[in-house]
Every structure is written in C-alpha cells, then in structure tokens.
Amino acid sequence: MRRSNTRPWAAGWLAAAVAARHVAGLRHLRRSLEWLAQPVSEAEMTDTPVHMIVPVLREQQHVAAALEWFTALLERMPGSTLTVVTTAREEHERQHLAALLAEQGDQPVTGRRFPQLTAAELDTVVAAQAAAPGHALTRAHAATVLGRFPLTRDVVARELEGDRYRGAAVRHVHYPGDGRKAAQVNHAVTHLDADSQSYVAVYDVDSRPTPEVMAATLAFIGHRRAADGALPAVLQQPARHTTRATSPHAWERMICRGAADLQTLWTLRREIPYVRRYGQMIGRAGRLPWWDAVRAGVSQPVGHGLFVRGDVFADLGGLPDFTVLDDVPFGYRLTMERIPVESVPVTLVADAPEDVRELLAQSRRWFQCNLDYPKVARAARAAGSGSMAAHVAALAVCFYRGAAWLSASPATAACLLVAVDRRHRPPVRTAAIAALAWGVAVPVVVLTRADRQPLTAGGITRRSAGVLAAYLLRSIGPWQAVARTVAGRPAGPFAPKANSRTVVDPRNGKDPR
C-alpha cells in the first residue's frame, strides 16, 4: 500500500504535541491523587462559621432534599448558617415561557423544545393544549396553566414552616431583581454577618457535601490558620463527577459516563494543579514578573464548594453579575488582586448530564466564561485592578486554555484517523496511538484504581470508549458558543439551568427513583 507523503510532518507533530500534553496531564493526575490521599487531622478542626448560600431558580422539586441535607450539616457546625435565596427572575421567566407557549400555536409542545418545563409541567401543558380551542394556548391560558404549579419561593417558604426547621439557623431570602446566580448570592450576603472570621460558601441545590468533607475542610482551615496566623482568603472544594445512568439508550449512557469521567480527569489533571500552582506563585518576587504571572496562570474557581472569607467577598464587591456565569470570571478578579486561592484535599460528588443534548448545552454555557474574559478584563481595569502587564499575561493564559478546549475534539479525531490510516509511516502512527493511550486508556486505568474498582479488560475498554467519545464531543459546545457570539446572538431570557437534575434522598444519599 502506498504511504501518504502529503505533509507527513504535520501529522507527526500534531500527534507528538497531543501526546506531550497528555503525558503532562498524566503526571498531574498522579500528583493530584497523591495530594488528595494525604490525611487531614480532625484535631485541627476549627469552629469557624460558614454561611452556606444555595441560590435556587425553577428547582421546586429539589428544595426539600436540599434543606434536609444542609440542615443536618448545620447540626455538626455550630455558628454556621444556611441561606436559601430565591429570585423574582423565576416569575419573569414564567411570563416569557407563557408567551413562547402561545407562539407555539397548535404545534406539539415537547420537552426538547421547552427544557425549562419539569415532567409534571410538561404533561399538564400538553393536556391543556389538547383541550384548548384549535389545540392552541393563548398567553393568558398558558400563564394560568403554569400558575397551577408553585414558584420555588413558595415551596421554600412552605418547607421552612415545618417543625423540622424551627430554631435552625436557616433563612429564606428573596432577591427582587432579574439578575442571575451571582446577583442572588450577592443579595443573600447583605443579610449575613460575614467578616474576616467567617466564610461565605456557595453551593448548588444539588450539591451534597458530606459531613466528612465539611469536617476535613474545617480541619484544613484550622491547619492553615495555625500556620499563617489568619484564615485562608479563598478555598475551593474540588468535585468528582458522576452519572446515575438514567438515559434509556445504552450509547447515551456510555457517552455521559465518559463525559463525567473526562470532567473528573479535568479536575485532577487541570483544575487542582491550576489552583495549587497559582497559590504557590502568587506573591512571588521573581526577576521576570510577567513570566511569573504567566506561570501562575489565572485562578479558576468553580461555583459550588467555593469558600470566600467574608471580608474578601466584601472588598471585591461580591461575585461579578454582568457575565453569564460568575465563578470563573470571579477568579480573574482574584488573580488581578493577587489573592491566594487554595484547594482543599477533599472531593465533592457532582451530578453530570444524563443526556447528550444537556451535555452539549452545559459545555456551551461553560465556555461562555472564556468569551467573557475580555469584558471581565475591561471591568477590572476600570476598577483599577491589576497592571497592564498582568492583564496581558492573564488574557494570554485564558486564550491558551480556551484554544485547548476548542481543539480537544479536532486533535483527538485527527490522532484517531492517523492511528488507523496505514498510509502514515509507523513512527507517526505510533505517536498517534501513544497520544490516545496516554490521554484515554492510561488515565482510565489510574482512575479505576483510585476508585478501588476491579481492573477488567471489558470494564477498562468500555470506560475508555466512553471517554474517547466524550473527547470527540468535547469541543462542539464551545464552538457553538463561539458561533453564537460571532452571530451576535444574546444569551437568551432563561438563566442557564436544567430540570433534569437528579433528586437525592437525604436519608441515604441515593436517588429515590
């Protein structure tokens, strides 16, 4: 068979570059797992107050379980509080949803077209549409149908009237504006007594920090305070991602499981090393400050399991509320202010998407942070935060990370094609196979061992196939976000939210379904 002579060096260099990146990632993976395995002495556990904030929007079915879970945590954390913050945005979105249902006319109302509807809401709307004249809902009729379901603020208020929460340090705050999650959190903090001796901790309604995770976090805080003489400014509880295999399609369950594994690998290969390197480099006085800034990178916190000391939160003016998401842009401001961020050697468990449509939508939302960095940089410069050199270095890092995300799928697909194409020379094909092995199969083996699961050929093959499929899909959502931005399409009237989240039984931590 004739070998390909068309730019053979291009395929070779591409495979070598991907392999090198995955080798570095594998090294970071092992170091992160070793770091997470270090013992944390609960003898250093502090009684520092933690004001946990859970912003909710269109999450009526998750409120009861969340309240039960977090209230149980408070029993082990004297002086800490829980604030559930609802928002008037939910009413505005419901009005807009009624208008969209009216515009639907006699066309079928489906969950794919209206992902904002819960299963019960969808069934009720479909039945109302079938019984309506001409099988079409008017805006008033649609609003009446949706109004049969309580708003999240009504559910929270009703739950807190129960005896279970009498005397508990739990409050309900309602945000009257139209802002997103960051605005809700900022509004909630105005009702707290957060200072330099306490933390504001942000969680999602489906976050489930265990008592062991919280105890380890408080012990870590106590250890850092004993070593430094002050509470750490910002802490991040990293997360491992999982699915509950609820899709009826085997191929979709495999892809979503692979995507959850890939996101966990990103946490271990990128997020934790980013945070640790940033913490080590901040405050360092090197001969080349701009190079130190590039090496430090940009702080990249995540919006659940994020602890911010009360005075730091106030000094920064809270979370940025002018971007689609708030956590990663908040990290840019931390970087410009050279505020250290530390990762706690524990992991939360976070639910991952259960269907491919939501998987792509999630990555599209997340990548919007990368597109918002110029806006965040302009706001920081206007506030006098950071030098021009610091902004240039930070934006260069942000551009590199965004480019790596955009190229993940094309690079993986190219390596796969080179590996199976016999027209390429053996060294080139070997490099491509090595890149795939170090990026997919070897990390899966390491992750399986860390999970204390049996190492079987079938299990590793299936799990590796899922991760490979997730890699091939990884860049689609980001490219969609780029296309929407180029086309000038706004983020839309609905906050980034999905009603497909899993409900967890607070009694045993399991999915009751």
Nearest to residue 318, comparing CAs of 188, 172, 178, 494? Answer: 188
Least confident interval from 47-56, 315-324, 459-468: 315-324
Collapsed DSSP state (helix, strand, coil) of residue 454: coil
Collapsed DSSP state (helix, strand, coil) of residue 83: strand
- Residue whose pair of structure tokens reads 């509880």 in the numeric block: 237
Alpha-carbon gap, residue 91 to 491, rounded angstroms: 18
- Residue 32 · residue 272 · CB < 8 Å: yes
The answer on pLDDT for 326 being more than 90 is: no
11 versus 500: the higher-pLDDT residue is: 11
Question: What is the Cβ-side half-sphere exposure of residue 251, based on CA atoms within 13 angstroms?
Answer: 2
pLDDT, position 389: 85
pLDDT tens column, 121-146: 999 999 999 999 999 999 999 999 99
Residue 34 makes CB contacts below 8 A (sequence gap 6+) with none
pLDDT band at 163 (very low <50, low <70, confident <90, very high): confident
- Residue 418 · residue 429 · CB < 8 Å: yes
- Residue 477 · residue 367 · CB < 8 Å: yes
Which amino acid is residue 414, in one-letter code?
A: A
Least confident interval from 92-101, 259-268, 327-336, 472-481: 327-336
Phi-psi bin for 447: left (phi > 0), alpha (psi -120 to 50), beta? alpha
Phi-psi bin for 184: left (phi > 0), alpha (psi -120 to 50), beta? alpha
pLDDT band at 290 (very low <50, low <70, confident <90, very high): low
pLDDT band at 501 (very low <50, low <70, confident <90, very high): very low
